[in-house]
Amino acid sequence: MMKKNDYISINNWPKDDRPREKLLKYGEHTLNNSELLAILLRSGVKGQSALDLARAILKKFKTLRDLSHTDSCDWKEFKGLGNAKIAQIKAAVEIGRRFIEEETKETKPKITSSKDIAKIFIPRMRDLKKEIFKVLFLTSKNQIIDILEMAEGTVNQANPIIRDIFQKALQNFAVSIICAHNHPSGDPTPSTEDKEFTQQLTAAGKTLQIQMLDHIIIGNNTYFSFADKGLI
């Protein structure tokens, strides 16, 4: 059996050892992270097969998640790896992040706790470099009607969206809402502006008879719930 090394093209490997053929024959779940990344790369660079290159990339960045929040300068050591391939990798990671939220929209599950909310938003929002503000619109049984991204920027910059939030809530015949935004620092502790904004949303909801159930702040694999802390 031919041994795999830095100088042998993947095309010369036994078919069952090639990542693409392995995926098609046995399923994507049988591939490790390096093999999946090699398929995205499609080809290697001088002196390295696509799989060797994938292994080197993961050795540097540690996890697939960490590939997404990188800058161009972080990839300079990988000679011959162009912007097109880097873009493909980052796009694939982002698709994976969005999958959970898209699946949630389709299945419309019932929200029973802050953990349910965090499960939806942490994978998508924990690595974002900018703050974004999302709203879940719910039925009387706390089932999700829709999830919308309402604004980008810090909460104190987003105050004008209060009107837009409740306009969308009325359009969706929502009985209640849950808001979520992220802190790029990774620390979900609410700021003074976060607290004031939550109070304004809650007050506006009472006027319109649309209940503000919670406001979740997403950090790095952690979150803060205003409802859990008795602040709503």
pLDDT digits (tens, 9 = 90+) for 5-20: 444 566 666 565 688 8
> Tokens at residue 61, please?
């960045």
| Judgement on whether residues 145 and 187 belong to the same structural domain of the protein | yes
Provide the pLDDT for residue 152.
Answer: 64
211 occurs within a structural domain: yes
Listing from the earlier edge strand, what are the strands of the sheet with 132-138? 144-152, 132-138, 176-182, 211-218, 223-225
Provide the pLDDT for residue 151.
Answer: 72
2 occurs within a structural domain: no
Burial of 206 (0-12, 13-18, 19+ CB in 10 A): exposed
| Judgement on whether residues 122 and 81 belong to the same structural domain of the protein | no
| Judgement on whether residues 64 and 27 belong to the same structural domain of the protein | yes
CA-to-CA distance for 138 and 113, rounded, in angstroms? 13
Q: How do strand 211-218 and strand 223-225 relate by DSSP bridges?
A: antiparallel
User: Where a domain ends, among 62, 97, 132?
Assistant: 97
Provide the pLDDT for residue 7.
Answer: 46
Provide the pLDDT for residue 26.
Answer: 86
Q: What percent of the chain has pLDDT over 90?
A: 44
Domains identified in the chain, total number: 2
Max mean pLDDT range (6-10, 35-39, 94-98, 100-104)? 35-39
pLDDT digits (tens, 9 = 90+) for 107-143: 778 999 999 999 989 988 888 888 999 999 999 999 9
| Judgement on whether residues 203 and 139 belong to the same structural domain of the protein | yes
Q: Is pLDDT at 35 greater than 50 in this prediction?
A: yes
Q: Is pLDDT at 215 greater than 90 in this prediction?
A: yes
Residue 212: give the domain boundaries.
108-225
Place of tokens 């999700």: 144
Burial of 42 (0-12, 13-18, 19+ CB in 10 A): exposed
| Judgement on whether residues 124 and 221 belong to the same structural domain of the protein | yes
Three-state secondary structure of 72-118: HHHHCCCCCCCHHHHHHHHHHHHHHHHHHHHHHHHHCCECCCHHHHH
| Judgement on whether residues 151 and 174 belong to the same structural domain of the protein | yes
| Judgement on whether residues 115 and 200 belong to the same structural domain of the protein | yes
Provide the pLDDT for residue 12.
Answer: 62
| Judgement on whether residues 71 and 146 belong to the same structural domain of the protein | no
